[in-house]
Amino acid sequence: MSTATDTSDLLIVDADTHLSEPWDLWTRLAPAKYRDRVPQVKEVDGTASWVFDGNVISPAWAVSVVDRDMVKQLHTEFLFTKQVHEVAAAASQIAPRLELMDQQGVWAHIVYPNTIGFGGQQLGQIGDMELRNLTVTLYNDASAEMQAASGNRLFPIAVVPWWDVPFACKEVERIKELGLAGVNMVADPQEYGLPDLSQAYWTPLFDAIEGSGLPLNFHIGASPTQMNYYGTASWPSFDNDTKQALGSVMMCLGNARVLANFIFGGIFERHPALKFVSVESGIGWLPFFLQALDYQLLETAPDRRKALSLTPTEYFRRQCAACFWFEKDLLLPSIEFLGEDNCLFETDFPHPTCLYPDPLDRALGVFEGVDPNLRRKVFGGNAARIYNLPLPDRTPR
């Protein structure tokens, strides 16, 4: 009988990781007339910074808590001061990342952006439309290159140019043709003067994503409001490490708001085949939250309830998924409530809350004595199905 930490029957997919963008990602691929305007690293006031069309969008931090000696650093100061050459090579380079994955027994990583924001929100108000659209297509082209260079083991999630719906619909088609695994977009377009996502304005884009079969991913922190974890989340007297800890928790719960608005806004009702993934949010809060939505619809919004054919819990079970990583005591009951087909394993490498250095030992212990089929689903099978991943020739059975 296999033990909880025996992975011989698993094809493990880590459904949320990050890889710092190469400094030449955009300049290497850009047409000459745009090369000085696309995102690039320049020294601004003595600090290496990402600059887009003359505007600083972020410092050129590596956003990794794993240092060059492969030791996890626990203080916020390290995270927000180091560049890519000062942290683990696996945080930014394909070959070292694959080596780390082999050491940990992980087959595939789903990869999310850093520089342009988790939902591409850093691009929303900078430059003209043509430049922004080019910036997204270059990012998606580079993502396809990364996926190919990794031998189909790193799967970057494509960014949708949400500020231009007709172009975004065409880009979704191209993303599918590139063989990328999913799409990613901003959570709060109304902050940029656009309609919120419940409005008919977005129907063509949701139609395109639904028709593509690609999952729509909402990583936590996918809008300015969602990223405000150093602002209103904690009380102002706290030190930076405490603010980081509390803010990280509150960012997870930010996706509750996105999910609720999708349900109440009727998006799942109108798009029953749309696949929705809540990324880096955890899952333990979801059983209460979905039951609360069920209850409140009946008690306080009966007209809205009549417009929906399913309850919020039923919508989630039909077409949503969410990722877990550090949860323990309530993890298995949460999976049972949500459905074993709706839960994904992640590590968040190399960000502050990542499970590094021993992600599988830390995660698999909860599954001692659990049905092996459930383990196979949540540690890789579900992600492979949702993201339509090309499986290796020799897949554990």
Indicate the fold that domain 13-23+94-386 takes in CATH: TIM Barrel (3.20.20)
pLDDT tens string for the chain (397 positions)? 345 678 989 999 999 999 999 999 999 999 999 999 999 999 999 999 999 999 999 999 999 999 999 999 998 889 888 999 999 999 999 999 999 999 999 999 999 999 998 889 999 888 899 999 999 999 999 999 999 999 999 999 999 999 999 999 999 999 999 999 999 999 999 999 999 999 999 999 999 999 999 999 999 998 888 876 556 788 989 998 998 889 889 988 999 999 999 999 999 999 999 999 999 999 999 999 999 999 999 999 999 999 999 999 999 999 999 999 999 999 999 999 999 999 999 999 999 999 999 999 999 999 999 999 999 999 999 999 999 999 997 666 5
311 neighbors 25 (Cβ within 8 angstroms): no
pLDDT value of residue 336: 98
320 neighbors 279 (Cβ within 8 angstroms): no
C-alpha to C-alpha distance for 221 and 118, rounded to whole angstroms: 6
- Phi, psi torsion values for 112, nearest 5 degrees: -115, 155
323 neighbors 278 (Cβ within 8 angstroms): yes
pLDDT value of residue 234: 86
pLDDT value of residue 173: 98
Phi-psi region of 61 (alpha: psi -120 to 50; beta: other; left: phi over 0): beta
Q: What is the pTM of this model?
A: 0.95
Q: Are strands 108-112 and 13-18 parallel, antiparallel or unpaired?
A: parallel
pLDDT value of residue 224: 83
Look at the block and give the residue holding tokens 């102002």: 236
What is the gyration radius of the CA atoms in the chain, in angstroms?
A: 20
C-alpha to C-alpha distance for 135 and 133, rounded to whole angstroms: 5
Look at the block and give the residue holding tokens 């109108």: 270
C-alpha to C-alpha distance for 93 and 99, rounded to whole angstroms: 10
Q: Are strands 154-156 and 158-159 parallel, antiparallel or unpaired?
A: unpaired
- Within 8 A by CB and 6+ apart from 107, the residues are 11, 12, 13, 101, 153, 380, 392
